[in-house]
Every structure is written in structure tokens, then in C-alpha cells.
Homo-oligomer: A and B are copies of this chain.
């Protein structure tokens, strides 16, 4: 027997929004929730009220600073904010950067803000699920908004941000190579474009370029009647931040009115269930590493079995368990 509280005991504290219980349950979620599936199911039952906002952009785009400023703007409107910061480098520097940012934003010690860094390192495929469980914990704990901040490179990261209701893509002034990366997968997922660092001279040009790159009228993603805005912001001068907040709220209202919210919720839930199935499969496979997989590997190496047949055998075997 240990004196660590079981997840069941943590649940009432989480639902009451108690910081320490939330943090402890998040650690369990990150560790994969072994044996605590009932608690996770309970969290999911209580989630679904928060507005989940994905904020993404290339490294150096200024998205962290913008998230800080945006959080302050939401707090000024008396709304609580949970932040999940997914950052490949955060295992090294994240803690310090986050602490700095909170201090700079004047948010230290505000119980209406909860910030959680998620490190890519070591998560090996489980990062998306762990990050989204963390979002659900903040949602169930009663935060009005949950911001997912993620660097917009890599398929896994794009999957995460697509789980949001509203996606804000952050672009710094002076596109150069940036637009190449942006266009390769992130540009299209934006509900709102925010140009950061608009105290710089090149910002107006960047706003114009992004506007020019958007399709005219309502096409594709915009078929439910939302015209993607391009907003100039400067966290440093506190310019455009409240406009961005208003656009986010406007998008939320539009999602509800148009019925698009239900469609997105359903799509996100589907993605989550598929990811959970994949993780169960991975876990079953790794539990079997000692015997079945090794045996199959021997056969493939000897040329008695092709890889696909081995994969099929692994699937069949893992399902019997």
C-alpha cells in the first residue's frame, strides 16, 4: 500500500477544479492510465463544455508569446483558460520557458489558468492520445477554454491540432521559406490566420500575402459559411489581441449556429477512437514481444514468411489475448 491517492480518489478534486488533483491525474494520463480506464471514461463523460482552440505555427513564429497574450485577454473577460503546450524541445527547456512566459504575461498565481507542457520525447506515438486526454481533463475540470499550442511540423502534431474546434495558424512577418512549410499542411487547416510581431515593418505585406493565398468566397473547409480572417497582432504592443479573441469567440458561435460543431465533434471522436484502437494494438504487440513477435521475426529472416503475413499473424494473435 502506498500513500498515493488512486485516480478514483482524484476524480472529485479534478471535477472541482483543484490544481493538485488535476496535475496528478495528468501525470497518470501521460503514463498511459494503465488499469484506470474507468476514471478516463468518467473524465470523458464530464468533458465536452470547453471551447478547444489549437494554436500552431513554425518554430519561432511567436505562437507562445501570442498564447500568453491571448490568455490574458480571455482572463480579462473573466474566462478560465487551460493550456496544453506540445513542444518537441520542451523536455529540455519547456519548463523554464513556460515559467518565463507566465511571469511575463502577469499570470503567475492565477487559479483561472492552468498550463501543462507535453514533451514529444519518449512519448513514442502516444503523444497525441496523452495530449488529448490532458485536454479532456482540463475540460472536465471546468476550464472555459483549452488552448493546445503545438509546433506545426510533423504529421503527429498536425493530428493533435486538428482535434481542436478552432484552429489558429500563426505566421511571423517575412514569409520566405516559412510559407513553403506552412503550405505543406497547416495553411489549409486554419480557421483563423494570425500574423504575429506586427510591430515589424514587413507585417502588412505578410497579411496581404496570406489574404491573397486564401481562396475567394466559400470553398472546401469553409462550406459551412465561415470566411477565414487574417488578423495582424502584436503581443508586445498588445495590438490586435482582443480582435483575435473576438474572432475565436465568433468562430465558436458560428460552429454552433451552422451545425459544424456537431460534425467536428463527431470527426474528432472518431479520430480518438481509432487512435485508442491503435494504441491498444501497439500495447498488445509490445506485451507479446518476448514470444510471438520474436518467433515471427525468425521466420521472416529465414525467408519462410513475408512481412505482411507476419503482420497479419501478429494482428490475429494480439486479438485473441
Question: A residues bordering B, Cβ < 8 Å?
Answer: 37, 40-41, 44-45, 59-60, 88-93, 119-121, 123-125, 127, 151, 153-157, 177, 180-181, 183-185, 265-266, 269-270, 272-274, 276-278, 280-282, 285, 293, 296-297, 300-301, 303, 306-308, 310-312, 314-316, 318-319
Contacts and interface: CB of A to CB of B under 8 A. Distances in A.
Contacts of A316: 319
A194 B212 CA distance: 40
B92 A184 contact: yes
Contacts of A60: 177
Contacts of A285: 274, 277
B155 A124 contact: yes
Nearest to A33: B308
Nearest to A88: B184
Contact of A273 (B59, B89, B184, B310): B310
Contacts of A278: 278, 281-282
Contacts of A315: 277, 280-281, 319
Nearest to A44: B307
26 contacts: A40-B306, A44-B306, A44-B307, A45-B306, A88-B153, A88-B154, A88-B185, A89-B181, A90-B184, A91-B184, A92-B184, A120-B184, A123-B155, A125-B155, A155-B156, A156-B156, A265-B301, A269-B300, A270-B297, A274-B285, A277-B285, A277-B311, A278-B281, A280-B312, A281-B315, A319-B319
